[in-house]
Amino acid sequence: MDYLIDAQIALRAKQYNLALELALQELANHRSPQAQAIIARLAWDGVLTYKDDQALPVWLEQQIEAGNAYAFFISALLDISGQISEFNIPRAIERFQVAIDKRVADAMAGYANLLLPQNESAKIAPDLKTGIQLLEQALALGSQEAAYILGKHYRYQKHTPDNLQKAYYYLNIARLLSHENGKLLFLSIAQIEEANHFVDTIKKSEEAYYRILSLKPEYPCI
pLDDT tens digit sequence for 80-126: 988 877 889 999 999 999 999 999 999 999 999 999 987 766 578 88
Which band of pLDDT confidence, cut at 50, 70 and 90, is reported for residue 184? very high
Q: Is the pLDDT of residue 172 over 60?
A: yes
What is the rounded distance in angstroms from the CA atom of residue 59 to the CA atom of residue 147? 29
Q: Is the pLDDT of residue 154 over 80?
A: yes
Q: What is the pLDDT of residue 26?
A: 94
Among 8-22, 27-41, 170-184, 204-218, whose mean pLDDT is lowest? 204-218
Q: What is the pLDDT of residue 216?
A: 60
Q: What is the pLDDT of residue 220?
A: 47
Which band of pLDDT confidence, cut at 50, 70 and 90, is reported for residue 36? very high
Which band of pLDDT confidence, cut at 50, 70 and 90, is reported for residue 217? low
